[in-house]
Amino acid sequence: MSYRYKIGCSLENLKGIRDFVRKSLKGHVVSEVELNEIVLALDEMCSNLMIHAHHCNPDHSLELSIDVPQKDKLIFEISDDGEMFDINRFSEPELGSLIQEKRKGGLGIRLVKSIMDEVEYLQRNGRNICRLSKRVG
Amino acid sequence: MVQIRRLQEEGAEILAVVGEIDASSSIELDLAIAKAVGEGVKRILIDCSALEYISSAGLGVFMSYIEEFRDKNIHMVLFGMKEKVANTFNILGLADLLHIRPSKQEAKKLINELSL
């Protein structure tokens, strides 16, 4: 099974992304907690891309696809043609320093890395692809 | 996407967060807390029983007040989280940095103790 969703880079559209993921994974992910984690990780990845690579320009778009190659494995790909925003290059801030600096960011990357099993980047047909994979069940 | 309802109960301010908090709506939460703080509120209870979803943007709002609250002797306790929402806080270990209780009763008890 595979599912595909294309959306403009506006933060208002994050809700649509979450609904798409919930709907697509219905039947593939049983636990509500696990489903929420996956929704969260994809929301974080898409909002990071919208903000940092596309400066929330609604004319730019990104595409999310979900592939279920086997019962217990999910593969997500987020593709866009903006600047590459590789979360593996960002060090995760310490929780303590987040409080000190009152920074309202940096937590998202930590969430994604905790939730997903793998985060890798590749290029295909001139587009950036971020591929995330997760074992479930 | 998110609605924040405010009510007073026994000397504490309750902010009930209804719906979903993400990068586009976290500002609403920030404004509601800032408003209460601006009015001199010292005890803030956050009712999360109708909170369906929170992303790092919302978590960041709570985190951003920790130091200010310490300096101003303001206390905040969150309560009533659904399991999936509590899990988001737990992934980052935020339960150690914020005060979180299962029920409103327990949250009130804790905030009264903290305010002594």
Closest CA to A51 of A75, A87, A22: A87
CB of A37 within 8 Å of any CB in chain B?
yes
Domain spans in chain A, listed from the N-terminal domain onward: 2-135
CB of A108 within 8 Å of any CB in chain B?
yes
Give the containing element (helix H, strand E) for A48.
helix A32-48
Residue A98, pLDDT score: 64
Q: What are B6-14's contacts with CB under 8 Å, separation 24+?
A: B6/B32, B6/B36, B9/B45, B9/B108, B10/B108, B11/B43, B12/B43, B12/B44, B12/B45, B12/B108, B12/B111, B13/B41, B13/B43, B13/B44, B13/B45, B14/B45, B14/B46, B14/B47
CB of A58 within 8 Å of any CB in chain B?
no
Residue of B84, B87, B89, B96 to mutate when probing chain A, most A C-beta within 10 A: B84
CB A71 within 8 A of CB A135: no
**DSSP 8-state secondary structure symbol assigned to residue A50:** I
CATH, residue B58: 3.30.750.24
CB of A80 within 8 Å of any CB in chain B?
no
Q: Yes or no: is domain A2-135 CATH 3.30.565.10? A: yes
Q: Shortest Cα distance from B92 to chain A (angstroms)?
A: 7
Angular region, A27: left φ>0, alpha ψ -120 to 50, beta rest: left
Amino acid in position B92: L
Q: Nearest by CB to A12, which of B24, B61, B84? A: B24
Cβ-Cβ contacts under 8 Å for A92 (sequence gap 6 or more): A106, A109, A110, A113
The per-residue pLDDT string of chain A (137 residues; one tens digit each, 9 = 90 and over) reads 899 999 999 999 999 999 999 999 998 998 999 999 999 999 999 999 999 899 999 999 999 999 999 989 999 999 999 877 788 877 666 776 666 655 555 789 889 999 999 999 999 998 999 999 999 98
CB of A117 within 8 Å of any CB in chain B?
no
Q: Hey, are the CB atoms on B97 and A111 less than 8 Å from each other?
A: no
CB of B22 within 8 Å of any CB in chain A?
yes
Q: Hey, are the CB atoms on B22 and A43 less than 8 Å from each other?
A: yes
Residue A47, pLDDT score: 95
Q: Shortest Cα distance from B55 to chain A (angstroms)?
A: 6
Cα-only R_g, chain A: 15
Give me the number of domains chain B comprises. Answer: 1
Q: Mean pLDDT per 10-residue run, chain B (116 residues)?
A: 92 94 97 96 97 96 94 97 98 93 97 93
Cβ-Cβ contacts under 8 Å for B101 (sequence gap 6 or more): B77, B78, B79, B107, B110
- Cβ-in-10-Å burial (0-12, 13-18, 19+) of A34 comes to middle
Domain span including residue B107: 2-114
pTM greater than 0.90 (yes/no): yes
Cβ-Cβ contacts under 8 Å, A43 against chain B:
22-23, 55
d(CA A129, CA A85): 10
B114: three-class secondary structure by DSSP? helix
